[in-house]
């Protein structure tokens, strides 16, 4: 079953009752992450884990379930590609384009992990070594999962006001709806990371806006979307301007914001049709 899960909760929960097992997935996250959450909880059942996550969390069992969910997700992807001639954005894109996506996705992944290190899955798990720098589809999928896990942890810092202001401004600069949504999400994420960096207590008990892209079911499409968000955080003058406005209105000390982590923006390409 699916339903909204509040800030601080994972994207999926396994409720074990007498004679039945119920998996609850967060309806506010993209469908690809709901699928991963379901696979994660299903892995607990397949691996015959005994701990109850609603009472206490066993880190070893959680890591094993994550690895199993990764394997199941990649096998589902292979089966889907074999049964359909419709290819995803990843295989269609040129090698250079995929490399660009991976570069921006990796930057976002590294940034998220630096702010929310508990989402990292690395090190040995009962003889299975989990590499932090895995490549190919497996590496892209693991980055995707950890980015979304980090964003889940940051939900308490999200501000609908920040997102709507960036979205409205993007529309005023003649961006289409999709690009404006990406600008809005990049700005909201950047503001949340800035608050997290300042060790500010979460104040916004809010989920992402209701019109977030919760219908994305393909991991390659979602990875490409997150890569575009990362690029906007890197290069967009509009996002930088909105984050600067947020820093001023939230009394953020100069030089402590997210953009201080990004490359020199004076030499970065401009994304979209934004003003200089």
The pLDDT score that the predictor gives to residue 75 is 81
The pLDDT score that the predictor gives to residue 185 is 94
Q: What are the angstrom distances between the C-alpha of 193 and each of 33, 216, 260?
A: 21, 24, 12
pTM: 0.69
The pLDDT score that the predictor gives to residue 273 is 40
Buried b (16+ CB within 10 A) or exposed e, 55-92: eeeeeebbbbbbbbbbebbbeebeeeeeeeeeebbbee
The pLDDT of 237-266, averaged and rounded, is 66
Pairing of strands 12-17, 2-3: unpaired
The pLDDT score that the predictor gives to residue 173 is 92
Crossing angle (nearest 10°) for helices 95-115 and 219-235: 70
User: What distance lies between CA 196 and its chain's CA centroid?
Assistant: 16
The pLDDT score that the predictor gives to residue 98 is 77
Residue 126 has pLDDT above 60, yes or no: no
- Determine what percent of the chain is predicted with pLDDT higher than 90: 20
pLDDT tens for residues 98-117?
A: 788 888 988 999 899 888 88
pLDDT tens for residues 129-185?
A: 444 444 556 778 888 888 988 888 888 888 889 999 999 999 999 999 999 999 999
The pLDDT score that the predictor gives to residue 127 is 43
Residue 125 has pLDDT above 70, yes or no: no
The pLDDT score that the predictor gives to residue 83 is 59
Instruction: For residue 114, count other CB atoms closer than 10 A to its CB.
Output: 14
Q: What is the mean pLDDT of the chain?
A: 76
pLDDT band at 211 (very low <50, low <70, confident <90, very high): very low
The pLDDT score that the predictor gives to residue 123 is 47
For the chain, how many residues are written?
A: 276
pLDDT band at 65 (very low <50, low <70, confident <90, very high): confident
Residue 90 has pLDDT above 80, yes or no: no
pLDDT tens for residues 35-51?
A: 888 899 889 888 888 77
Residue 258 has pLDDT above 70, yes or no: no
């Amino acid at each position: 079953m699916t339903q909204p899960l509040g800030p601080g909760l994972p994207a999926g929960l396994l409720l074990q009752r007498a004679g039945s097992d119920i998996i609850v997935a967060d309806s506010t996250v993209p469908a690809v992450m709901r699928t991963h959450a379901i696979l994660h909880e299903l892995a607990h059942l397949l691996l015959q884990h005994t701990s109850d996550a609603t009472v206490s969390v066993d880190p070893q069992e959680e890591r094993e379930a994550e690895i199993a969910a990764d394997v199941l997700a990649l096998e589902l992807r292979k089966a889907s590609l074999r049964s359909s001639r419709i290819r995803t954005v990843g295989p269609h894109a040129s090698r250079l384009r995929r490399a660009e996506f991976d570069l921006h996705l990796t930057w976002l992944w590294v940034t998220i992990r630096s702010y929310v290190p508990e989402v990292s899955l690395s090190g040995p798990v009962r003889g299975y070594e989990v590499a932090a720098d895995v490549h190919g589809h497996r590496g892209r999928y693991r980055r995707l999962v950890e980015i979304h896990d980090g964003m889940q942890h940051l939900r308490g810092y999200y501000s609908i006001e920040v997102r709507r202001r960036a979205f409205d401004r993007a529309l005023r600069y003649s961006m289409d709806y999709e690009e404006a949504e990406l600008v809005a999400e990049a700005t909201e994420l950047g503001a949340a990371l800035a608050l997290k960096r300042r060790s500010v207590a979460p104040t916004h008990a809010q989920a992402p806006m209701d019109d977030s892209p919760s219908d994305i079911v393909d991991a390659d499409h979602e990875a490409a979307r997150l890569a575009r968000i990362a690029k906007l955080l890197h290069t967009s003058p509009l996002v930088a301007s909105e984050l600067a406005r947020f820093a001023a209105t939230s009394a953020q000390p100069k030089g402590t914001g997210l953009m201080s982590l990004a490359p020199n923006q004076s030499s970065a390409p401009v994304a979209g049709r934004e003003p200089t």
